Structure 1
Amino acid sequence: MYLNLFLILFQIALAFSQHSQVLVVSFDGFRYNYFDKHITPTLDRLKLKGTHAEFLRNVFITKTYPNHHSIATGLYPESHGVVANSFYDPTLKRILKYSEEMWHYRDDITPIWILNEKAGEGRHSGTFMWPGSDFAYQNTKPTFSVVYNTSIKWRDRVDTVVSWFQDSATPANLVMMYFEEPDKEAHRFGADSEAVSKQIARVDEITSYLLQQLLENNLPVNVILLSDHGMTTVTSERIINVLHMVDNSTLVAGVTPALQLIPPADRVWTVYRLLAEHSSHYNYTVYLKKDLLDRWHFKNNERVPPIFLLADEGYGFDDLLAFDIFEDVDIAAENRTYGAHGYDNAVSSMHPFFIAWGPRIKKNYTIEPFDTVDLYSLFCKLLDLDVPQTDGSLSNVVGMLTEGQTRTVSSLPIKIFAVVAVSLLLMGCACCITHQILKQDRTPASLQSYKLLDPPRIIRPKSSGNEQEERHLLGNDDIEES
Structure 2
Amino acid sequence: MSSKSKNEKHVIVISYDAFSQDNWELASQQPNLSKLIRNGAWTTKVKSVYPTLTYVIHASYVTGMYPNKHGVYHNNPFQPFVPEKDQEWHWYRSNIGAPTVFDEVARQGMKVAGILWPVSGKSSIHYNIPEIKAIKNENQALKILKNGSPVYSVSMELKYGRYRKGIEQPYLDDFSTMCAVDTIKTKKPNLLLLHLIELDDTKHALGTKGPHIEQAICRMDKRIGDLMRAVDEAGIRDKTTFIVVGDHGQLDVRYKVHLNRLLRDHGLIYEENGEMKWRAYVQGAGGAAYLHIREGDSEAGRLALELLEQALAQDCYGIESIFTRDELDSLHVDTAFHYMLEAKEGYAFDDAYNEPIVVDLHARGIKYATHGYSPNKPNYTSALVISGEGIESELQLGEVEVIDIAPTIASILGIDFSACDGRALTEIFKEKSKILL
Into which bin does the TM-score normalised by the smaller protein fall?
0.7 to 0.9
Counterpart code for 1:69: A
* SS class of match (1:272): helix
2:149 counterpart residue number: none
2:342 counterpart residue number: 310
**Cα distance, 1:253 vs structure 2:** 1.9
Q: Determine if contact 1:30/1:181 at 8 Å carries over to the other structure.
A: no
Counterpart code for 1:271: A
2:394 counterpart residue number: 364
The two structures, once aligned, show a CA RMSD in angstroms of 3.2
**Cα distance, 1:319 vs structure 2:** 5.0
The one of 218, 233, 238 aligned to 1:201: 218
The one of 104, 122, 133 aligned to 1:115: 104
* SS class of match (1:134): coil
1:295 counterpart = 2:284: no
Please tell me whether Structure 1 or Structure 2 has the larger radius of gyration of its CA atoms. Answer: 1
**Cα distance, 1:218 vs structure 2:** 2.0
Counterpart code for 1:144: Y
Structure 1, residues 300-325: CA drift from partner, whole Å, max 9, x if none? 422x3x432210122223559999xx
1:401 counterpart = 2:391: no
* SS class of match (1:245): helix
CA distance in 1, matches of 2:63, 2:257: 35
Runs of 4+ in 1 over 6 A off after TM superposition: 13-17, 320-323
Q: Determine if contact 1:286/1:307 at 8 Å carries over to the other structure.
A: no
**Cα distance, 1:242 vs structure 2:** 3.0
1:463 counterpart residue number: none
CA distance in 1, matches of 2:25, 2:394: 19
2:385 counterpart residue number: 355
CA distance in 2, matches of 1:386, 1:15: 16
CA distance in 1, matches of 2:423, 2:320: 32
1:132 counterpart = 2:123: no
1:127-166 correspondence to structure 2 within 5 Å: 127-136=114-123, 141-148=124-131, 150=167, 153-166=172-185
CA distance in 2, matches of 1:340, 1:14: 44
Counterpart code for 1:131: P
Q: How many residues align?
A: 369
What are structure 1's unaligned runs of at least 5 residues? 1-12, 324-329, 409-482
2:305 counterpart residue number: 272
1:58-207 correspondence to structure 2 within 5 Å: 58-88=48-78, 97-99=88-90, 103-106=94-97, 109-120=98-109, 123-136=110-123, 141-148=124-131, 150=167, 153-167=172-186, 171-207=188-224
The one of 7, 11, 18 aligned to 1:29: 18
CA distance in 1, matches of 2:93, 2:418: 23
TM-score between the two structures when normalised by the length of structure 1: 0.69
What are structure 2's unaligned runs of at least 5 residues? 81-85, 132-165, 270-277
CA distance in 1, matches of 2:79, 2:172: 36
CA distance in 2, matches of 1:345, 1:388: 24
2:228 counterpart residue number: 211
CA distance in 2, matches of 1:125, 1:102: 14
CA distance in 2, matches of 1:405, 1:381: 12
Q: Determine if contact 1:373/1:392 at 8 Å carries over to the other structure.
A: yes
Q: Determine if contact 2:408/2:426 at 8 Å carries over to the other structure.
A: yes
Q: Determine if contact 2:56/2:67 at 8 Å carries over to the other structure.
A: yes
Q: Determine if contact 1:365/1:400 at 8 Å carries over to the other structure.
A: yes
Counterpart code for 1:403: E
Structure 1, residues 318-342: CA drift from partner, whole Å, max 9, x if none? 559999xxxxxx9675564310111
Evaluate the alpha carbon distance shift between residue 339 and residue 349 of structure 1 in structure 2; reply closer, same or farther with a 3 A threshold: farther
**Cα distance, 1:348 vs structure 2:** 3.7
Q: Determine if contact 1:166/1:172 at 8 Å carries over to the other structure.
A: no
**Cα distance, 1:101 vs structure 2:** 6.8
CA distance in 2, matches of 1:239, 1:404: 49
* SS class of match (1:53): strand
1:44 counterpart residue number: 34
* SS class of match (1:254): strand
CA distance in 2, matches of 1:226, 1:99: 21
1:285-434 correspondence to structure 2 within 5 Å: 285=320, 287=322, 289-298=324-333, 300-302=334-336, 304=337, 306-317=338-349, 319=351, 334=364, 336-394=366-424, 397-403=425-431, 406=434
Counterpart code for 2:227: L
Q: Determine if contact 1:341/1:350 at 8 Å carries over to the other structure.
A: no
More strand by share: 2
Evaluate the alpha carbon distance shift between residue 24 and residue 16 of structure 1 in structure 2; reply closer, same or farther with a 3 A threshold: closer
Q: Determine if contact 1:275/1:286 at 8 Å carries over to the other structure.
A: no
TM-score between the two structures when normalised by the length of structure 2: 0.76
Structure 1, residues 85-129: CA drift from partner, whole Å, max 9, x if none? 124399xxxx984145785253xx122111100112xx1111111
CA distance in 1, matches of 2:87, 2:418: 29
**Cα distance, 1:257 vs structure 2:** 1.9
* SS class of match (1:54): strand
Counterpart code for 2:330: R
2:8 counterpart residue number: 19
Q: Determine if contact 2:20/2:380 at 8 Å carries over to the other structure.
A: yes
Evaluate the alpha carbon distance shift between residue 26 and residue 318 of structure 1 in structure 2; reply closer, same or farther with a 3 A threshold: closer
The one of 241, 247, 257 aligned to 1:222: 241
* SS class of match (1:353): strand
CA distance in 2, matches of 1:353, 1:186: 16
1:242 counterpart = 2:232: no
**Cα distance, 1:289 vs structure 2:** 4.4
Evaluate the alpha carbon distance shift between residue 124 and residue 332 of structure 1 in structure 2; reply closer, same or farther with a 3 A threshold: same
Q: Determine if contact 2:323/2:341 at 8 Å carries over to the other structure.
A: no
Evaluate the alpha carbon distance shift between residue 89 and residue 360 of structure 1 in structure 2; reply closer, same or farther with a 3 A threshold: farther
Evaluate the alpha carbon distance shift between residue 67 and residue 40 of structure 1 in structure 2; reply closer, same or farther with a 3 A threshold: same
